[in-house]
Amino acid sequence: MMPSNDLFAKACGELGVSPSSHVVLYDTHGVFSSPRALFMFRTFGHEKSSIVNGGLPRWADEGLPVDTEPPTKPEPTSYQPPTFHSEAIRSYEDVVANSAFDPKTSIKVELLLDARSRGRYQGTDPEPRPGLSSGHIPNSISLPFNLFLQKNVSSEGIEYTNILPPAEIRRVLEDTIGQEELEDLVNGQRSVITSCGSGMTAGVLWLGLQLLGAKRVALYDEVCGICSSHTFVVSRKN
């Protein structure tokens, strides 16, 4: 899903974004797609970038002004193709090779966290898109992305989410992978890969790990269901 350097620079320039701009990202679910967009900006080295925690629904619920006029066309800027931080991405081949090893056997094996629902991970729930294999990548760990989120209801009855505070994210991770493993991630002793079905909600796990200061966090940027049907021996719970 990542664009090329040239396409990213072209899109930023057309949107009036310059390399010195502070880009603020939000979505209509609260926190859902904005972490993925933030991941993209950070991977292209645009560090001055943030999300609105709670998105547009929280903004409106707190009585902040909302503009309902059609957007105006921004003044184009010059945005040169940036440096792509390739260490933030794991490829299909990377994940296939890593999946052959149990992370318990060596700290050099990357920990793969699956952000999909538990039912999809176990292969008991149907996949949302035709042709995707059910189950999960071998030696991956189930960590549904919504465990990093808090549900809210606005005064107008609109549901939205915000990301949990770092202390609560830490508790979720300790319950999932254990305190010792978590410390290895935070200290950079082990690297971690976040994954989902399309590379979108994996961004929520990526953001949560960033908030904890994890040193070596990458995102698997391919569709794991399709890839698994080609090479992976997909694990299922019968």
What pLDDT is attached to residue 194? 98
Considering the chain, what is the average pLDDT of its residues?
92
Q: Which two tokens stand for residue 199?
A: 């590379």
Nearest 5°: phi and psi at 25?
Answer: -115, 140
Report if residue 215 sits inside a domain. Answer: yes
Report if residue 13 sits inside a domain. Answer: no
What pLDDT is attached to residue 134? 82
Task: Report the pLDDT averaged over residues 149-161.
Answer: 96
Whether 225 and 133 have beta carbons less than 8 Å apart is answered as yes
Report if residue 31 sits inside a domain. Answer: no
Question: Under DSSP, is residue 22 helix (H, G, I), strand (E, B) or coil?
Answer: coil
Give the amino acid at 117: S
Report if residue 77 sits inside a domain. Answer: no
pTM over 0.95: no
Give the residue numbers spanning the domain of 191: 86-147+164-230
pLDDT of residue 65 exceeding 90, the answer is: yes
224 has catalytic annotation: no
Report if residue 21 sits inside a domain. Answer: no
Catalytic residue among 12, 196, 224, 227: 196
Report if residue 236 sits inside a domain. Answer: no
Percentage of the chain beyond pLDDT 90 is: 87
Report if residue 23 sits inside a domain. Answer: no
- Tell me which of 238 and 57 has the higher pLDDT: 57
Cα dihedral sign for 211, 212, 214, 217?
Answer: negative
What pLDDT is attached to residue 81? 95
pLDDT of residue 178 exceeding 80, the answer is: yes
Band (196; pLDDT cuts 50, 70, 90): very high
Report if residue 4 sits inside a domain. Answer: no
pLDDT of residue 225 exceeding 60, the answer is: no
What pLDDT is attached to residue 223? 54
Percentage of the chain beyond pLDDT 70 is: 93
Number of domains forming the structure of the chain: 1
Q: Which residues share a beta bridge with 160?
A: 152
Residue 217's domain is classified under what CATH number? 3.40.250.10
Q: Strand pairing of 149-153 and 159-163?
A: antiparallel
